[in-house]
Amino acid sequence: MIDFYYNFSPNPMKVALFLEEAGLAYRPVPVDTLLGEQFAPEIVRLNPNGKLPIIVEDGVAVFDSNAILLYLAEKHGRFLPAPEYRGQLLSWLMFAASGVGPYSGQAVHFRHYAPDPKDYPLQRYDFEARRHFTVLDEHLAGRNWMVGDGYGIVDMAVWGWARNIDFVLGGEFRAGFPNLVRLIDAIEARPAAAAAVGLRDRHAFQREFDERARRTMFRHLKPA
Ligand X SMILES: N[C@@H](CCC(=O)N[C@@H](CS)C(=O)NCC(=O)O)C(=O)O
Residues near ligand X, by CB under 6 A: 9-11, 33, 38, 51-53, 64-66, 101
Q: How far is the CB of 115 from ligand X (least distance, A)?
A: 17
Q: Which residue lies nearer to ligand X by CB, 10 or 152? A: 10
Q: How far is the CB of 38 from ligand X (least distance, A)?
A: 5
- Of the candidates 94, 172, 159, 98, the one whose C-alpha atom is nearest the C-alpha of residue 128 is 98
SS3 148: coil
Q: What is the DSSP letter of 202?
A: G
Q: Which residue lies nearer to ligand X by CB, 42 or 138? A: 42
> Phi/psi zone of residue 79: left (φ > 0), alpha (ψ -120 to 50 degrees), beta?
left
Q: Positive or negative, the Cα torsion across 206, 98, 86, 179?
A: positive
Q: Which residue lies nearer to ligand X by CB, 30 or 176? A: 30
Q: Which residue lies nearer to ligand X by CB, 80 or 108? A: 108
Q: What is the DSSP letter of 62?
A: E
Q: How far is the CB of 118 from ligand X (least distance, A)?
A: 18
Q: How far is the CB of 44 from ligand X (least distance, A)?
A: 11
Q: What is the DSSP letter of 199?
A: G
